[in-house]
Amino acid sequence: MARKPIFYLAKLAGFLLILFLPASYAAAQERAYPKDGEGITLFLKRFNRSGADYQKEFIRLNKGKFGKNYALLKGVRYTLPPLKATAQKENKSDKASAKRAASKNYEPLFGKKYASFETVSNELEGACFYLVSGHGGPDPGAIGYAGKKELHEDEYAYDIVLRIARNLMMRGAKVYIIIQDAKDGIRDQYYLDNSKRETCMGSPIPLNQVQRLKQRCDKINALYRKDKEEYRRALFIHIDSRSKSKRTDVFFYHSGSSASRDLARTIKSTFQQKYDHHQPGRGFKGTVSKRDLYVLKNTTPPAVFIEVANIQNQYDQQRIVISNNRQAMANWICEAFIKDYKKHR
């Protein structure tokens, strides 16, 4: 009988502990499922938890629940980090201000060096992009040679797409990276190692060309149906293959719709302006034309298809193997998206 009071005291103490737990503990128990295609950044942003601190805590709280490179798994319920008191207060008074206050973000697909980035503006807030690098998985695309080094189209197109995605996200856009590599982030090397790891947002990429193109179009269209942003655009990045003697400037294809055509023309004019500024007198001979490509015909959002170089030509190769050139193209494409978004708002 002497043990009974001790038991009740222990039970009471446990009850009081639960009763007086801080609100932050309760918040830490919030859980949610990711939407199709969401990475950590978009998932946390949906719950007003933007920033590197939230992302690190999220990874700690959900240890063992991720795919490669901290990819979110479909059907897994993730624990959200506690919402900071300051964020709660801001959220009640001014939701838009609260979003801008958290300037640091984290996207593992960008690789260790570039995963963390700051929001520099909200110019593209309310815009949504679907970015696709050509080929991938079992299909390397076009192959060029620089000496004994093989240059695979899919590797360089992927690096450019990651750089575009990062630029867009830094300006407040929602971005889906349709073709993904769990290991290769943004790389600054001259020669990019070749691999067959790429997936279509986690799904193996078929070797059959029609199936491969259908897969990425289906993924974009499924995401498009769920997204609510008024401005939604798709972009396909490829590297052309022609005779070694043929030099080409970046050129652009559109589907024929006014939105697709306008975007292609805006990107082309932006490249023209940049060339006139950085290489006066050189001229820019990039073209814009309608093309009945499978991905342009079968993608719901307005889309543009870009060929950034001739992978066989030694001079064109400089446009893709030099990382500063890959970044410059990403910067110019981002700038063109901003122009087009402002035009269509």
Looking at residue 68, the DSSP 8-state letter turns out to be: G
Determine the pLDDT at residue 9. Answer: 44
pLDDT of residue 98: 45
pLDDT at residue 86, as a whole number: 55
Residues 189-208: tens digit of each pLDDT: 999 999 999 999 999 999 99
**pTM, 2 dp:** 0.75
Task: Provide the pLDDT for residue 10.
Answer: 44
Model pLDDT for residues 240-263, shown as the tens digit of each residue: 999 999 999 999 999 999 999 999
Classified as helix, coil or strand, 79 is: strand
Kindly give, in sequence order, each residue whose CB lies less than 8 Å from that of residue 93, ignoring residues fewer than 6 positions away.
Answer: none
Mean pLDDT of successive 10-residue segments in the chain (345 residues)?
Answer: 46 41 48 86 88 90 88 90 67 49 79 94 96 97 96 98 98 97 96 96 96 98 96 98 96 98 98 94 95 98 98 97 97 98 92
Residue 135, token pair as written in the block = 């080929």
Distance between CA 114 and CA 30 in Å, rounded?
A: 29
Torsion angles phi and psi, residue 312, rounded to 5: -85, -20
Report the pLDDT value the prediction gives residue 29, as an integer from 0 to 100: 67
